């Protein structure tokens, strides 16, 4: 029997998910073979000891085929050391070469966390992500709008300067013309 838990990075399911929604969680996390709810793994030590499981070990496993199974069917003689690093046959769908990740007792591997989080929490995350992206879009749109307004003002200013130069040139031409006429009259 192993004496320490497997070296897996695990995360606590939020306290709400682990207590208040225990009943609804049991409808999601249960053994596909015997339908035992995963919540019993951590809370009911009697079941664990009756099945010969050592406490502190995940007695429920998520297989890479997507099925959750309890230790009784994969490890009838107890959970081996480094159980998660080997491959097995799924006791439910009989697929070969599947890998297992410990679940249950309020703990799931970090990369599988979303599979076990309440829908409300997942939606909150999605809403947060959409808000973040929308805010960033609005910010850059405002930036380009301001830039465009600044450029428009600059172009208008330059056009005004050019019109002024044009007027001056015309006036200069007219002046030159009248001077020439006056000279011709004097001669």
List residues binding Zn ion (CB under 5 A).
Answer: 31, 33-34, 63, 65, 67, 70, 90, 92-93
Nearer to Zn ion by Cβ, of 78 and 118: the residue is: 78
Is the distance from CB of 98 to CB of 90 less than 8 angstroms?
Answer: yes
Closest CA to 42 of 100, 84, 104: 104
For residue 12, list its beta bridge partners: 107
Number of helices (H), then strands (E), in the chain: 6, 6
C-beta of 71: minimal distance to Zn ion in Å? 8
Q: Which is nearer to Zn ion, 8 or 51 (CB)?
A: 51
- Long-range contacts of the stretch 72-76 (C-beta < 8 A, 24+): 72/31, 72/33, 72/34, 73/31, 73/33, 73/34, 74/100
- Minimum gap (Å) between residue 121 Cβ and Zn ion: 27
Compute the 3-state secondary structure of the chain and give helix, strand, coil in percent, each to the nearest 5: 55, 15, 35
Both tokens of 48, joined, read 């664990």
Q: Which DSSP string corresponds to 49-65?
A: HHTTPPTTS--EEEETT
Nearer to Zn ion, 44 or 149 (CB): 44
Nearer to Zn ion, 41 or 70 (CB): 70
Least distance to Zn ion from the beta carbon of 35, Å?
A: 7
Closest approach, Cβ 111 to Zn ion, in A, equals: 19
Supply the minimum distance, in Å, between the C-beta of residue 8 and Zn ion: 20
Which residue lies nearer to Zn ion by CB, 86 or 145?
Answer: 86
């Amino acid at each position: 029997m192993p004496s320490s838990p497997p070296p897996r990075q695990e995360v606590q399911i939020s306290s709400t998910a682990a207590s208040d929604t225990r009943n609804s969680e049991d409808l999601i996390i249960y053994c596909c073979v015997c339908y035992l709810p995963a919540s019993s793994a951590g809370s009911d030590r009697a079941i664990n000891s009756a099945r010969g499981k050592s406490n502190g070990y995940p007695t429920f496993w998520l297989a890479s085929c997507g099925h959750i199974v309890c230790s009784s069917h994969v490890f009838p003689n107890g959970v081996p050391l480094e159980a998660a690093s080997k491959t097995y046959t799924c006791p439910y769908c009989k697929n070969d070469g599947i890998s297992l990740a410990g679940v249950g007792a309020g703990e799931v591997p970090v990369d599988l966390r979303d599979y076990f989080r309440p829908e409300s929490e997942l939606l909150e995350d999605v809403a947060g992500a959409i808000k973040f992206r929308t805010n960033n879009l609005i910010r850059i749109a405002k930036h380009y709008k301001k830039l465009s307004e600044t450029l428009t003002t600059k172009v208008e200013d330059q056009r005004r300067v050019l019109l002024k130069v044009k007027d001056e040139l015309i006036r200069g031409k007219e002046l030159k013309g009248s001077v020439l006429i006056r000279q011709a009259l004097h001669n």
